[in-house]
Amino acid sequence: MTYEEFQGNVIDTLEKRFPKNTSLNIQRILKTNDRELDGLVISDPSSRVSPTIYLDPLFDAFQSGSSSFDEIIDIIFETYSQHRNAKPFDTREFTDFERAHDNIVFRLVNRKRNKRLLSDVPFMPYLDLALTFYFLTELEGEGLGAILIHNNHMEEWGKKKEDLYEAARGNMKRLLPATITPMDEILKSMGLPDQYEAAEYERVPLFVLSNERKNYGAATILYEGQLKKAAEVIGKEKLCVIPSSVHEVLIMPYEKAKRGGDIDEMVREVNYTTLSPDEVLSDHAYYYDASTDTIVE
C-alpha cells in the first residue's frame, strides 16, 4: 500500500465511523527544519475543537508492521475522542498583545534548515541559528500548547521583532526554567548506572542543559548568565557546547572535547542516525569562554 493509498483508505474507513456531518481533511503542515507532515483535521459540529492527528508516523508504524491498519484506525478514533471535548483556546489571549506579552517565548532552530519557515516568521539571528517566537498556553487536559508567531501576527499587533525578543527574554526563565544535570544522574534515573561509571565521569564530566519541560530546551544557552553558571558548576572557563537536539545541549570542558576525537563528526552521526529530522539543531559544536562570556562556532 502506497502512502497515498493509505491516506485514502484512512479517510474512507473513518467516514464510516464518524457521523455524516463530520469533516475529514488532510493538510500539509510545515514543522521545524522545513519538514512537512500530513495532519488529519477532524471537525465535528458537535465538538468545540478540531484535533489534528499526524498521519506520517502512523504510516511508518503500518509499514514496519508494528501496527495493523485496523489498529491505526482505532488509534486515530481514540485520540480524537480524548481531545474532542477539550476546552477551546480563548483567542483573545493571543490577538491582544498586552494579554499575550507575558506568554511570548523563543525557540532556537537552525537557519539554513529553516529557510521556508523563516521566510514567514519574525526571527533574530544567533550564530548560524535563529530565534523564533511562540505564544505558550496551558490547554486544559492537553498540557502545554505553543502557537508560532508569524509576520502577520506581528503586523496586527503593530510590533517589531525586537519587541518580541524583549518580551521573550523576560519570560523564558519564568515560564521555562533552565536545568543543568550531570549525565551520570540522568543515566542512573534511567536504571543504567553501569553504563557510565564514576571513573569515566571524573575523566570527562558531561552535563545536560535544557529546560524543565525538556521541550526546545537548547534555547537555554541564551538565558542571561546560564553558560557562565555552567562553567562554574563544571569548574572550567572554556566549554564545548554540543547541540544534542533542539531540546537540549551537552556541555563538557573544552580541553576534554579536543582530546576526545572529532566532536563534530559525532554530532552529525547522532543527527542522521538517532534524531527525528525536525529535532536536529546543528551539525557542529560551539565553544564558550566564560572570561569574555562569548560563544562561537
Number of H helices, E strands in the chain: 13, 13
Rounded CA separation 135/147 (Å): 5
pLDDT of residue 186: 66
Give the range among 34-43, 46-55, 109-118, 221-230 with minimum mean pLDDT: 46-55
* Nearest partner of 132 among 33, 52, 227, 244, judged by Cα: 33
pLDDT at 189 over 80: no
Strand ranges for the chain from DSSP E: 23-30, 36-43, 52-54, 104-110, 123-126, 129-139, 143-148, 178-182, 207-211, 238-245, 248-253, 286-289, 294-296
Give the range among 119-123, 142-146, 152-156 with minimum mean pLDDT: 142-146
For the stretch 50-80, pLDDT in tens is 788 999 999 999 999 999 999 999 999 998 8
Per-residue confidence band for 180, with pLDDT thresholds at 50, 70 and 90 = very high
The average pLDDT across 239-261 equals: 87
For the stretch 27-54, pLDDT in tens is 999 999 999 999 999 988 776 677 889 9
pLDDT of residue 103: 95
For the stretch 259-294, pLDDT in tens is 555 889 999 999 999 999 999 999 999 999 999 999
Mean pLDDT, all residues of the chain: 89
pTM over 0.85: yes
pLDDT at 1 over 70: yes
